[in-house]
Amino acid sequence: MAETKVLVLVGSLRAASINRQLAELAVEAAPDGVDLRIFDGLGNLPFYNEDIDTEDVADSVRALREAAAGADATLVVTPEYNGSIPAVLKNAIDWLSRPFGNSALKDKPLAVIGAALGQYGGVWAHDETRKSFGIAGPRVVEDLKLSIPSKILDGAHPREHAEVTASVRDVVGKLAAEVG
C-alpha cells in the first residue's frame, strides 16, 4: 500500500510554540504508512495580491503550492489570535485557494487541530479555519476536531501527555483514512 502524504501547516511562526510542538507530535505519532511533512515557509509568503499571482509567482508561493499538490491530505495546527485565525495562516489559505475552483488542495481531506490559551483551546479559530479552507477547495473533515486549552499542558511538551498524544494520533489516523 502506498504511503499517505500529509502536509502540515502551522499557524504560529514561533519556533517553540505549543502548536509547533503539536505538529511535531503529529509527525512522531503518525501511524505506519502515514508521512507528515511540516511546511516551514508560511512566514516567507507575500501577502496575497492577485496582481502578483502570475506565472512568475514568488518562490515561497510556488513551494507552498507544490507541497500542497504533492500531499494526499492536510493537517492544520493553529492557535487562536484575538478570537480568530492567525494572519499567516489566513494568507496561506488565500494563496492555496488559487486558481479558484482548481486549487492544489481541491477535494483533498483536511483537518484542523491546535491549542490556545483560552478555556476552549482555540475553538473559534479552528471553526474559522475550517470555514475558510472549506471555501478554498479542500474537503474539510468536520468530525476531526481537537482544541486543547494550553493550560492543561502545564508548560510541558504535548508528547508528555498520554491523552494528548493519543488524541493527536487518532486525528492523524482518521485523516489518513479519509484519503481515497
CA 180 remoteness from chain centre: 19
Its pTM surpasses 0.75: yes
Of residues 88, 78, 67, 63, the one with CA closest to residue 6: 67
Does 1 score more than 70 pLDDT?
no
- Average per-residue pLDDT in the chain? 95
Per the DSSP assignment, residues forming a β-bridge with 116 are 149
Q: Can you tell me the mean pLDDT for 123-127? A: 96
Share of the chain above pLDDT 70, in %: 99
- What pLDDT digit, counting tens, does each position of 2-50 carry? 799 999 999 999 999 999 999 999 999 999 999 999 999 999 999 999 9
pLDDT interval class at 120 (50, 70, 90):
confident
Per the DSSP assignment, residues forming a β-bridge with 6 are 36, 73
